[in-house]
Amino acid sequence: MPSISTQPTNQMVTPGQAATFSVVATGAAPLSYQWQKNATAISGATAAVYTTPATTSADNGAQFVVVVSDPAGSVTSSAATLTVNAAATAPTMTTQPTNQTVTVGQTATFTVVATGTAPLGYQWQKNGTAISGATSASYMTPATTSADNGAQFVVVVSNSAGSVTSNAATLTVSASATAPTITTQPANQTVTVGQTAAFTVVATGTAPLSYQWQKNGTAITGATSATYTTPATTSADNSAQFVVMVNNSVGSVTSNAATLTVNSSATAPTITTQPANQTVTVGQTATFTVVATGTAPLSYKWQKNATAITGATSATYTTPATTSADNSAQFVVVVSNVAGNVTSNAATLTVNAAGTMPQFGHVFIVEGENTSFSSTYSSSTMPYLTSLANQYGVSLHYWADTHPSIGNDLNLASGVIPTNNDSASPSSLPLSIDNIAHEVEQAGKTWKDYVESDPNISGCGGLKSGAYFVRHDPLKYFTNINKANFVCFSQFATDLANHTLPNFSWLAPNGCDDAHDCSIGTYDTWLKTEIGPLLASSYFQPGGDGLLILTFDEDDKG
């Protein structure tokens, strides 16, 4: 019989828009699908995805399900609700296009900012005629001519609810242009045989500017930008003179000459830091590094067991994921330049067998608030937390991803940051995205969210002093999980005593106990009082399967 792994989700549209529902199911092929609207089969809706016709207000509140069948039977999805909101809002201009002044040959850019129900369409017009392809919020003209002077530009912004035309913006095209002037001359360069030399000029004047470099009075093919880099030099290039001509529509200017000095001596490479032996576990990568001196440019070629490694041509080489066959491999690097080469000492790679990860059957997450690493770990104000870190371990490569609290809390629970607005509530920001509780449910495991001082849970709000911040309790924002699993924190001690804790527990202290409003010493005392008995239980004794994660969401207010 088929099984539905991803249920259809509620959809919200505006009248005239279509809505799309989808389902993901597994089972014996072939799978067949039949969508229903308000319990009536929809003709032709026999795929895993169904898109409605253009909606009307009469479709508001309609229920959609899909029956998935295979040779062994059928299953019906959960119902997904279609919400059809009021009519779309016509566009409104918030920023009008402004007049532009350019010189002949330059382009001009006009921009509009408009609001209204998306999608918005744009059509620019010049002197009352639509401009082909000018269909975005900004329009850049081609290179202007004197004939464009005084042209009027407007844009019509439209959507399904109507259209609005901007004010006219006038284009002024000035006939005068400024000849080029060199503000930074090319400088003399000194290199060693085999090296390249780079000459650069900085010039001003009416765009566009063009460049042509010359060597000893002869134009250099392809040297037509503000910077010119020579090929690898030879002794014959010594004392060569380089100039550049800068041109525009008004005139041209020639730079001062820059002299190239090419010295004949070069220093062969010398290795100052040899590659070191590396030890990793199967599946990890290993990185070898060399430090060498000598006349630039230096080139590098790494070898494994005397065979060149394709693409390994920098001072550092990182292996692919290692296998047991890589154990004892020898790595050397050959460093070269125009004066010679040198081979490093061999570095040995030791690859140890992979260890076995423990299997955790009961996972607990506790999140504190707005506290820096330095004020918690090894701090006299948090002796209990410090003792846990010293006994069990501390992660030195873990940090908050954003600011303020809500983004980090939702990211911890779902792996994404849907908002950074701390005032967002579960009613204003309902989320149907994947999250840790949803994954636990899908795996057939159990979970609970143990919440302190939540006034929405009967009998829980007044049990302890301290404010309840829903943004510190991110599971409340997800619509695709079992809401019956939110319980008062007092239930935690009962479940621990009865050995009935779920597979996954989110522990949410109130705004005082998590150190948001009170001292971090208060949080340390709370941990010792509430988490101490958990660590003393059989879940964390030899043969137990407990994993406790203590983290902070913002690192000292971001």
Q: What is the pLDDT of residues 125-178, one digit of tens each?
A: 999 999 999 999 999 999 999 899 999 999 999 998 899 999 999 999 887 778
- Going by C-alpha positions, the residue among 327, 332, 326 that lies closest to residue 303 is 332
For residue 137, being part of any structural domain is answered with yes
Residue 140 lies in a domain: yes
Mean pLDDT score across all residues of the chain: 91
- What range does the domain containing 194 cover? 181-263
Cα atoms in the 13 Å half-sphere on the side-chain side of 534: 25
**178-216: pLDDT as tens digits:** 899 999 999 999 888 888 999 999 999 887 899 999 999
Confidence of residue 555 (pLDDT cuts 50, 70, 90): low
pLDDT level of residue 257 (50, 70, 90 thresholds): very high
Residue-level pLDDT at 214: 98
Q: Do 351 and 381 contact (CB within 8 A), yes or no?
A: no
Examine the domain organization and report whether 447 and 536 are in the same domain.
yes
Over the stretch 339-374, which tens digit does the pLDDT of each residue have? Answer: 899 999 999 999 988 766 667 899 999 988 867 777
Same domain, 163 and 105: yes
Q: Are residues 396 and 544 in the same domain?
A: yes
For 511, residues 6+ apart whose C-beta sits below 8 A from its C-beta are: 369, 453, 466, 467, 468, 469, 472, 517, 518
Domain assignment of residue 557, yes or no: no
Q: Is 309 helix (H, G, I), strand (E, B) or coil?
A: coil
Last residue of a domain, one of 174, 203, 222: 174
Taking a C-beta distance cutoff of 8 angstroms, is the pair 246, 205 a contact? Answer: yes
Average pLDDT over every residue of 489-501 = 94
Domain end (from 263, 295, 313) = 263
491-499 contacts at long range (C-beta below 8 A, 24 or more positions apart): 491/448, 491/450, 492/450, 492/530, 493/530, 493/533, 495/448, 496/533, 496/534, 496/537, 499/537, 499/538
Task: Decide: pTM greater than 0.85.
Answer: no
Q: Are residues 381 and 447 in the same domain?
A: yes
462 pLDDT higher than 70: no
Rounded to whole angstroms, the Cα distance separating 71 from 495 reads: 44
55 and 108 co-located in one domain: no
What pLDDT was estimated at residue 558?
40
Mark which of 148, 174, 200 sits at the end of a domain.
174
Does 77 have pLDDT greater than 80? yes
